[in-house]
Amino acid sequence: MNYTKLNNLLGWACGILATLVYVLTAEKTTSWWDTGEFIASAYKMQIVHQPGAPLFLMIQNVFSNLAMGDKTQIAYWMNIGSAVCSGMTILFLFWTITALARKAYVKYSRTEEVSQAALINIMGAGLVGALAYTFSDTFWFSAVESEVYAMSSLCTAVVFWAILKWEVRADEAGADKWLLLIAYVMGLSIGVHLLNLLVIPAIALVIYFRRAEKVTSSGVVKALAIGVVILGLVLWGIIQFLIKFAAYTDLFFVNTLGLGFGTGVTFFALLIVGGLVFGLWYSIKKIKPLLNITLLSVAFIIFGYSSFSMILIRAKANPTLNNSDPDNAFAFLSYLNREQYGDEPLISGRYFDAKPTDIFETGNVYRKDGNKYVVAKKKYDYTFDHTTLFPRVYSDKHESFYRDWLNMGAGDKPAMGNNLNFFFTYQIGHMYSRYFMWNFVGRQNDQQGHGSFTEGNWISGIKPIDNIRLGGQNVLPTSEKENAGRNTYFFLPLILGVLGALWQFKKQNRDAAVVALLFFFTGLAIVLYLNQTPMQPRERDYAYVGSFYAFCIWVGLGVIWIAEKLSGKINAKNAAIGATAVSFLAGPVLLASQNWDDHDRSEKSLARDMAKNYLESCAPNAILFSYGDNDTYPLWYVQEVEGFRPDVRVVNLSLLSADWYMKQMMHKVNEADALPINIDPEKIKDGVRDVIYYNDFNVPEHIEIKTLLDIMLSDNQQNMVQLQSGEYANVLPTKKMQYTVDKASVIANKVVPKEWEDAIVDTMKWNYSMGIVSRAELSILSILANNNWKRPIYFTTTTPDENMIGLNKYMVSEGFAMRLMPVALAADSASNNEPISDVEGTYNNIVNKFQWGNISKSNYLDPDSYRYISMYVGSLFGETAQNLIAMGKTTEAKKLVLNAYDNMPKRIYQMAEVFSYASLIDAMYKVGEKDKANEIAKRNLQFLRENMAYYSAIAETKPNLEYRNMRFGLASIQNYQRVLTDANQKELLDEVNKIFEVYRPLFEGN
């Protein structure tokens, strides 16, 4: 078989194998984080969060049709869409590696055959590198869920493969069509994710090496500089400034010429098209090939970029999910620029302890208003008293973390040394190198790490090395040894990659420079650009997947290094076979064997089930306030895609402070009525009452919220305060709020259980919990004032207390949501920090409605899933069972604890679970389930004993021990002593007493 046929056959074999692996391990439904939003938006062609991914949504919509109308299968088929994109990425990676390897033997020839040994080396390199990437940690994670990173990786793979195809054909007629393909794919990739654009500098270097008559150092620098400039022109010139120019042209046409919205955009678009057509005509007539290919490339990028027209078109249709409502030029510009997320300083900026010294205007924010664009507000920035070049420790919200990480005293002022220290140790070390090592050396566990020695570090599996790095490995607990997220590769994939890089720099130094440039720009350059603050809400390794792709090219080429070393001792063919076999075992086989268990998501469904549980906790026609991504996105999925409980109006408090979202809440959606906000949209449009500040007027009495709303929404200067600038602004004059309760309406609408009707208060009184009032808080107050208890009002249990605006004491748990009830029972208990629940309602929800995502049978649970278990076993099962026992309902309590036994995992994931289990175990003893209680207690005590020893061993050598886990452990010891004493379980009590004796000094010290 000749080279081309074998290359095609093995390439497709790798791609198909990878696709099958991803299909087998793909999640069957939605997952955590953005996937719920993406699936819901792709299904109904809606608008996702900034800056959008229209091409991704359109392609995923095609995959959704494979569900053949079964709405429960739509998420699965979209996940398969990612699996297919990921499998195709592996296909192109294989061809990329073989193309680079082949150049070592025949340079640019397309027809010349290679020796059998060389052929085995080339194909072996492709197989090892491509399949190593197939089973790598980060890429596999994104490959099995409906997220943009799988499709973005495919764009990167196609572009890099295409430039190598051009390189071989560069001397042939029509070869530059490959450059146009690259430009078009890059334009398309903008509609998926911007990561693909980082390949541009590497492409520029390939073109220079191929076209230059003589390669020089200055030429390399110049080519690299041109590549970076082109990257900047695409990233800012085409993506941002084209839209900015279009927006300001529209501003002129609308405000000055009096024409309709969009006329300026249309004129500008025609101007761009006309300019490109003229330029192409001119380049052909004057025979200017460079100008011609440049203009054609720009045209193809813009043509690919035109997928964003979907955003404008669908925003005009006002779909259910319409993030930012970008239906006009300026709203679209803000959407693309991700303005709601703010900017990070890159070249110069403040230190975290800096104080503002001056404020200055930086521009206008325009909004569509009537038949004109008007200035909604001004943009401002500050000058600071303590600034630096290359700011890295700039966030005033993370001062304590910076000081702890950098070992700075409370009064120490940060300096450039601290900047560089944080850059190298945290941003590069913790937020990039750690991820890199996860993929090629090994991973300690799957817990998100913020610097603890027990969470999320890289390990190798070579004990002496791991001991030196982390300490405490000599007492590694069973829970860590059996953690599916613990993967050890013994440095072998890393060694293969280093050997491959050494071989390429020696034999193909130009190609090595290109791969190194790809590795840098998709890795460390992103670190420089993102300038991430600490304490990220999730691990960010997916952002660097392009650099892991580049390194896997070297992993593949490591086969050839080994083969060449072996060829000095055995014949070349056997050396090639041996090198391929050894590398295959050290790379793909090892990675697959270690990573399969924690990447198989085929049994997971908790994200979907939790969303259903939130909704099932709500009465019909309810209003449900949520807060975070993992609350909201799965809720959007189950309502928009599966059509589950569409009567409940889900309201995300994080978005509710935006004018566009608040206005959307005033309209009916699906089967859910509009929110009873009853505020004139003119009073809360962008730039109007964005924030209302609290100004203490020393009001002695509690004030009705209707009165406070009138004051805050008044346009009368008598109800405002004058600022230093001379302008007048609305204020919140007191935090003492009250709401007079219509008891008849409460009873008529069955807001409280019948037995609580005597506890209904005449007036709800509370202290407002925040220092500002945004549109979100205005909305809550207006809903409360206008609803008159007609619709049930709920907050998810994971909503931060502050965001309940002080109403916490009137919240009653009904499972996974807390219902607002005007009862004294709730108010009294909240004053004692003892929240109450509707016990019978919660019991009914748990036994008859709630689903548990198969967590009791799944071979693997991810951290986003198992962090809920403490809440399940403690506040849900345990406390509800204890309340049922106190009410004399032992039969129901027994049914509840058996439900917990059947549906909760048969292992412990975190120390917090051990603490939470105490109340459930106690209830089990009380209802006569001694054997099951003993089984759980014995398991938990083993976890407690082993992990406390683990933390203590680390504390001897490492100063920043995870004290939170230690505190949970100490509290658990006391809880289990009490529970086991009451249950008269002597054997287990002796066990916990022994643990207590070991840590008695810690108790005595406190």
| 348 & 382 share domain | yes
What's the rounded mean pLDDT across residues 503-528?
Answer: 94
Q: Is residue 810 part of a domain?
A: yes
Could you tell me if 374 and 445 lie in one domain?
Answer: no
CA distance 211 to 153: 28
For the chain, the farthest-separated pair of C-alpha atoms sits apart, in whole angstroms, at: 98
Q: Which pLDDT value is given to residue 187?
A: 95
CA-based torsion, 420, 421, 427, 429: positive or negative: positive
Residue range(s) defining the domain that contains residue 386: 343-397
Q: Is residue 222 part of a domain?
A: no
pLDDT at position 435: 95
Over residues 159-174, mean pLDDT: 92
Average pLDDT for 438-445: 94
Among 587, 604, 621, the domain boundary falls at: 604
Strand ranges, E, within 781-861: 793-796, 811-813, 817-820
Greater confidence (137 vs 836) lies with 137
Tell me whether residue 794 is in a domain.
Answer: yes
Inside any domain, residue 312? no
Q: Return the CA Rg of the chain.
A: 31
Task: Place 833 in a pLDDT band, splitting at 50, 70 and 90.
Answer: very low
Q: What is the pLDDT of residues 586-596, one digit of tens each?
A: 999 999 999 99
Same-domain status, 366 and 485: no
Asked whether the predicted pLDDT for residue 654 surpasses 60, the reply is yes
Domain boundary among 604, 632, 649: 604
Report d(CA 388, CA 416) in Å as an integer: 7
Output the pLDDT for position 26: 95
- The pLDDT, as a whole number, for residue 455 is 81
Q: Note if the pTM is more than 0.85.
A: yes
Tally of domains in the chain: 4
CB 740 within 8 A of CB 763: yes
* Tokens, residue 11: 């390439």
- Measured over the CA atoms of residue 557, residue 561, residue 564 and residue 566, the dihedral's sign is negative
pLDDT at 830 over 60: no
What's phi and psi for 750, nearest 5 deg? 50, 50
Quick check: is 517 in a domain?
yes
Residues 744 and 776 in one domain: yes
> Sorting pLDDT into bands at 50, 70 and 90, what band is 473?
low
Confidence class for position 960, pLDDT limits 50, 70, 90? low
List, in sequence order, every residue forming a beta bridge with 650; answer none if it has no partner: 624
961: pLDDT strictly greater than 90: no
**449 and 573 assigned to the same domain:** yes
Residue 653 shares a structural domain with residue 533: no
800-805-807 Cα angle (round to 5)? 95
Same domain membership, residue 584 and residue 629: no
Per the CB < 8 A criterion, the answer to whether 32 and 607 are in contact is: yes
pLDDT given for residue 143 in this prediction: 95
Q: Is the pLDDT of residue 154 over 90?
A: yes
The domain boundary, picked from 823, 838, 853, lies at 838
Confidence band for 729, pLDDT divided at 50, 70 and 90 = confident
User: Within this chain, do residues 966 and 923 fall inside the same structural domain, yes or no?
Assistant: yes
List, for residues 57-95, the tens digit of each pLDDT value. 999 999 999 999 999 999 999 999 999 999 999 999 999
pLDDT at 372 over 50: yes
- 370 shares its domain with 493: no
Runs of H (alpha helix) within 567-691: 572-584, 590-599, 606-616, 629-640, 659-664
CB proximity list for 640: less than 8 A, separation 6 or greater: 40, 43, 44, 46, 320, 321, 670
Same domain, residue pair 588 and 612 = no
Task: Judge whether residue 903 has pLDDT over 90.
Answer: yes
- Answer whether residue 366 shows pLDDT above 60: yes
| More confident position, 836 or 947 | 947
Can you tell me the distance from the alpha carbon of 614 to that of 817, in angstroms, rounded to the nearest whole number? Answer: 6
Kindly tell me if the per-residue pLDDT of 614 is higher than 50: yes
pLDDT for the residue numbered 248: 94
> In three state form, how does the secondary structure of 731-774 look?
EECCCEEEEECCHHHHHHCCCCCHHHHHHECCEEEEECCCCEEC
**Residue 850 domain-assigned (yes or no):** no
In a domain, 221, yes or no: no
* Residue 528 burial by Cβ neighbours in a 10 Å radius (0-12, 13-18, 19+): middle
Q: Are 363 and 462 part of one and the same domain?
A: no
Give the C-alpha separation, 154 to 549, whole Å. Answer: 11
Give a yes or no: residue 444 inside a domain: yes
- Per residue in 183-229, pLDDT (tens digit) is 999 999 999 999 999 999 999 999 999 998 898 999 999 999 999 99
Across the chain, mean pLDDT equals 91
Token digits for 974? 């006391």
Do both 491 and 372 map to the same domain?
no
